[in-house]
Amino acid sequence: MNELDRRVSVAPMMDYTDRHCRYFLRLLSPNTLLYTEMLTSAALVRGDGARLLTYDNAEHPVALQLGGSDPKELAVAAKMGEDAGYDEVNLNCGCPSDRVQSGRFGACLMGEPSLVAECVSAMRSVVSVPVTVKCRIGIEPMPQAADEFEFLRKFIATVAAAGCEVFVVHARKAILKGLSPKENREIPPLKYDVAAALIAEFPNLTFVLNGGIRTVEEVQAHLQTFDGVMIGREAYSNPYLLAQLEQAVFDPGWDLPARELVIQQYAEYVRTRLSEGHRLRSMVKHVQGLYAGLPRVRSWRRYLSEGAGQPTAGAELLLDALRIVQAA
């Protein structure tokens, strides 16, 4: 059930980890586990599921994250994901946005562990790929007065009893009222020790740590405790970190790819997608962090951002932009 290598993964991020982003990140790391943006079960079941689930085979290993709280609908969506070839189905129990809460999914589901267990059981009954859960260490306000760790322990125990063996734990509470999703990623304090305490409570489960992890050294340190580490915004703003992690975690003998070669490979992908009707801007935006911390990075980003809006621009924009950093 846990055959996927979970040591390094990239978090599901709305408006970021679409199929184009995932293809680009795969060029930087052959083994990092990638996640889709959260897709609601309703959108898949009642909408254009085939389009929403489309991806490139090069993205494997890739997991589908679902949002929802209707067990029957989630089961249908999970089966659609498995049939499409995804390597895992993950249930979102961590997103704190008002929009997500209004649909009765995301972090607010931590207050209904029995419902989450029912959802997990329904999905597991129709798929053979792993069904996993991404959650926080707690929510505020809690539905009832309780010890904070006991609240988390009960959630994990209840969902694990339904057959979930893998939990991705964002080591912050979700503040359900008064904070934006961005603030919820920054203001609630990180409590890695709370997430680590779960390991002693549930030694047979797999725990992946998420939240505030930005460097190779931090990943390596957390891997001494946890089964895996999930990188969020840092993987987007500084994607070359994934190449460094590939070498540090998966294969010390692996040669770091030249950034220029990655762009050349991605340009070929972009050219193909453009012929299918995809928008240049939606693909170019994902590479703007590739030269983070290096000379001329602002010029690189500006050239791509401004050029992607030109009506005649194509995949060559990426190759032209390389001259900016090569000149440096």
Q: Which residues are annotated as a binding site?
A: 12-14, 65, 134, 170, 210-212, 232-233
- Please give the structure tokens belonging to residue 253: 């003998």
Half-sphere exposure in the Cβ direction for 1 (13 Å, CA): 14
CA 320 vs CA 24, 158, 326, 328: distances in Å: 18, 54, 10, 14
Q: Residue type at 282? A: S
Nearest 5°: the CA angle 160, 181, 96 is 35
Residues 6 or more apart from 127 whose CB is under 8 A from it?
78, 79, 81, 82, 89
pLDDT of residue 1: 44
Which H or E run includes 300? helix 297-307
Give the 3-state secondary structure of residue 253. Answer: coil
pLDDT tens string 40-91: 999 999 999 999 999 999 999 999 999 999 999 999 999 999 999 999 999 9
pLDDT of residue 186: 82
Q: Give the start-to-end residue ranges of the domains of the chain.
A: 8-250, 259-327
Residues 6 or more apart from 189 whose CB is under 8 A from it?
172
- Please give the structure tokens belonging to residue 206: 């797999």
Q: Which residues are annotated as a binding site for FMN?
A: 12-14, 65, 134, 170, 210-212, 232-233
The size of the chain, in residues, is: 328
The class (CATH top level) of 8-250 is alpha beta
Question: What CA–CA distance (Å, rounded) separates 201 from 196?
Answer: 9
Give the 3-state secondary structure of residue 64. Answer: strand
pLDDT of residue 98: 66
Closest CA to 138 of 175, 178, 177, 90: 175
- What average pLDDT values come out for the chain (328 residues) when binned by 10 residues? 86 96 98 97 96 98 97 98 98 82 80 97 98 96 78 97 98 87 84 97 98 98 98 97 98 97 98 97 97 92 95 96 84
Given a contact cutoff of 8 angstroms between Cβ atoms, the answer to whether 256 and 287 are in contact is no
Question: What CA–CA distance (Å, rounded) separates 72 from 301?
Answer: 44
Residues 6 or more apart from 145 whose CB is under 8 A from it?
none
Given a contact cutoff of 8 angstroms between Cβ atoms, the answer to whether 66 and 39 are in contact is yes
Residues 6 or more apart from 68 whose CB is under 8 A from it?
40, 41, 42, 74, 77, 91, 103, 105, 119
Number of H helices, E strands in the chain: 16, 8
Question: What CA–CA distance (Å, rounded) separates 8 from 223?
Answer: 9
Cα torsion 274, 277, 278, 280 to 10°: value is 50
CA 74 vs CA 47, 48, 98, 252: distances in Å: 14, 15, 21, 40
Question: What CA–CA distance (Å, rounded) separates 210 from 219?
Answer: 10
Tell me, letter by letter, the H, E, C secondary structure of 1-14: CCCCCCCEEECCCC
Question: What CA–CA distance (Å, rounded) separates 205 from 223?
Answer: 15
Question: Which residue, chain included where needed, has tokens 């184009």?
Answer: 20
pLDDT of residue 82: 98
pLDDT of residue 166: 98
Q: Under CATH, which number does the domain 259-327 receive?
A: 1.20.120.1460
Catalytic residue positions, numbered: 95
CB-CB neighbours of 95 under 10 Å: 24
Residues 6 or more apart from 266 whose CB is under 8 A from it?
23, 24, 27, 287, 318
